[in-house]
Amino acid sequence: MKRNTMLVMTAALLGALVLAGCSYSATPSGTTGGGTTGGGATSSGSTVSMKNFAFNPSTIDVVVGATVTFTNDDTVQHNVAGESWSSGPLDPGQSYTATFSNAGAIAVKCLIHPSMTMTVNVK
Protein backbone atom coordinates (compact mmCIF):
# COMPACT_ATOMS: atom_id res chain seq x y z
CA MET A 1 0.00 0.00 0.00
CA LYS A 2 2.60 2.49 1.06
CA ARG A 3 4.74 1.65 -1.94
CA ASN A 4 1.90 2.33 -4.32
CA THR A 5 1.24 5.73 -2.83
CA MET A 6 4.87 6.64 -3.27
CA LEU A 7 4.79 5.55 -6.88
CA VAL A 8 1.72 7.62 -7.61
CA MET A 9 3.27 10.64 -5.97
CA THR A 10 6.46 10.21 -7.95
CA ALA A 11 4.52 9.88 -11.16
CA ALA A 12 2.54 13.00 -10.39
CA LEU A 13 5.72 14.91 -9.64
CA LEU A 14 7.33 13.79 -12.86
CA GLY A 15 4.21 14.78 -14.77
CA ALA A 16 4.33 18.22 -13.27
CA LEU A 17 7.98 18.59 -14.21
CA VAL A 18 7.30 17.56 -17.79
CA LEU A 19 4.45 20.02 -18.04
CA ALA A 20 6.60 22.81 -16.67
CA GLY A 21 9.33 21.97 -19.14
CA CYS A 22 6.87 22.24 -21.99
CA SER A 23 6.13 25.88 -21.47
CA TYR A 24 7.67 27.68 -24.38
CA SER A 25 8.39 31.34 -24.74
CA ALA A 26 6.72 32.92 -27.68
CA THR A 27 8.87 35.30 -29.65
CA PRO A 28 7.43 38.76 -29.66
CA SER A 29 6.10 39.75 -33.04
CA GLY A 30 8.13 42.51 -34.52
CA THR A 31 6.23 45.61 -33.75
CA THR A 32 8.11 48.61 -34.91
CA GLY A 33 7.37 52.02 -33.61
CA GLY A 34 7.50 53.48 -37.07
CA GLY A 35 4.54 55.48 -38.22
CA THR A 36 2.06 53.15 -39.83
CA THR A 37 0.13 55.24 -42.23
CA GLY A 38 -3.03 53.91 -43.77
CA GLY A 39 -1.73 51.90 -46.65
CA GLY A 40 -3.22 48.73 -48.04
CA ALA A 41 -4.82 46.32 -45.64
CA THR A 42 -2.04 43.74 -45.72
CA SER A 43 0.74 46.09 -46.57
CA SER A 44 2.72 46.30 -43.35
CA GLY A 45 4.39 44.17 -40.81
CA SER A 46 6.87 42.16 -42.83
CA THR A 47 10.20 41.92 -41.13
CA VAL A 48 13.57 40.65 -42.26
CA SER A 49 16.45 39.92 -39.95
CA MET A 50 20.08 40.40 -40.87
CA LYS A 51 22.10 37.86 -38.97
CA ASN A 52 25.25 35.84 -39.56
CA PHE A 53 25.86 37.82 -42.74
CA ALA A 54 22.56 36.78 -44.30
CA PHE A 55 19.04 38.01 -44.74
CA ASN A 56 16.45 35.89 -43.03
CA PRO A 57 14.20 34.97 -44.70
CA SER A 58 15.99 35.15 -48.02
CA THR A 59 12.73 35.50 -49.92
CA ILE A 60 9.48 37.15 -48.92
CA ASP A 61 6.23 37.94 -50.68
CA VAL A 62 4.54 41.26 -50.08
CA VAL A 63 1.79 43.25 -51.74
CA VAL A 64 2.42 46.44 -53.69
CA GLY A 65 2.87 49.30 -51.28
CA ALA A 66 3.98 47.08 -48.44
CA THR A 67 6.63 48.04 -45.98
CA VAL A 68 9.38 45.70 -44.90
CA THR A 69 11.47 46.40 -41.85
CA PHE A 70 15.04 45.16 -42.02
CA THR A 71 16.71 44.75 -38.65
CA ASN A 72 20.40 44.28 -38.09
CA ASP A 73 20.52 41.41 -35.59
CA ASP A 74 24.19 40.87 -36.25
CA THR A 75 27.25 42.09 -34.41
CA VAL A 76 28.63 44.01 -37.34
CA GLN A 77 27.36 46.86 -39.47
CA HIS A 78 25.14 46.11 -42.46
CA ASN A 79 22.98 48.08 -44.81
CA VAL A 80 20.04 47.40 -47.08
CA ALA A 81 19.86 48.52 -50.67
CA GLY A 82 17.71 48.06 -53.70
CA GLU A 83 18.28 49.38 -57.19
CA SER A 84 17.62 53.01 -56.39
CA TRP A 85 17.68 53.22 -52.64
CA SER A 86 19.90 52.44 -49.72
CA SER A 87 19.40 52.49 -46.00
CA GLY A 88 22.83 53.80 -45.20
CA PRO A 89 24.86 52.03 -42.53
CA LEU A 90 22.88 50.13 -39.90
CA ASP A 91 24.60 49.43 -36.64
CA PRO A 92 23.73 46.27 -34.72
CA GLY A 93 20.22 46.69 -33.35
CA GLN A 94 19.22 49.33 -35.84
CA SER A 95 16.51 48.81 -38.42
CA TYR A 96 15.31 50.35 -41.63
CA THR A 97 11.86 50.26 -43.13
CA ALA A 98 11.53 50.23 -46.90
CA THR A 99 8.35 50.63 -48.91
CA PHE A 100 7.91 48.51 -52.03
CA SER A 101 5.69 50.41 -54.42
CA ASN A 102 6.34 48.56 -57.65
CA ALA A 103 5.47 44.97 -58.48
CA GLY A 104 8.24 42.59 -59.36
CA ALA A 105 11.02 40.54 -57.89
CA ILE A 106 13.15 43.11 -56.15
CA ALA A 107 16.74 42.19 -55.45
CA VAL A 108 17.82 43.49 -52.07
CA LYS A 109 21.37 43.40 -50.87
CA CYS A 110 23.86 44.59 -48.33
CA LEU A 111 26.37 46.80 -50.08
CA ILE A 112 29.01 46.06 -47.46
CA HIS A 113 28.82 42.29 -47.93
CA PRO A 114 28.14 41.32 -51.55
CA SER A 115 27.19 37.79 -50.56
CA MET A 116 24.21 39.13 -48.62
CA THR A 117 21.29 39.15 -51.00
CA MET A 118 17.60 38.44 -50.85
CA THR A 119 14.50 38.81 -52.97
CA VAL A 120 11.34 40.70 -52.15
CA ASN A 121 8.53 39.51 -54.39
CA VAL A 122 6.13 42.42 -54.69
CA LYS A 123 2.76 41.36 -56.03
What is the binding site for Cu ion (CB under 5 A)? 78, 110, 112-113, 116
Nearer to Cu ion, 110 or 120 (CB): 110
Nearer to Cu ion, 45 or 113 (CB): 113
Provide, rounded to whole angstroms, the least separation between the CB of residue 67 and Cu ion. 21
Provide, rounded to whole angstroms, the least separation between the CB of residue 97 and Cu ion. 17
For residues 68 and 92, the answer to whether their CB atoms sit within 8 Å is no
Nearer to Cu ion, 63 or 113 (CB): 113
Provide, rounded to whole angstroms, the least separation between the CB of residue 116 and Cu ion. 5
19 contact partners, CB below 8 Å, separation of at least 6 = none
Nearer to Cu ion, 45 or 92 (CB): 92
Provide, rounded to whole angstroms, the least separation between the CB of residue 77 and Cu ion. 7
What are the angstrom distances between the C-alpha of 39 and each of 45, 50, 64, 105? 11, 25, 10, 20
For residues 120 and 106, the answer to whether their CB atoms sit within 8 Å is yes
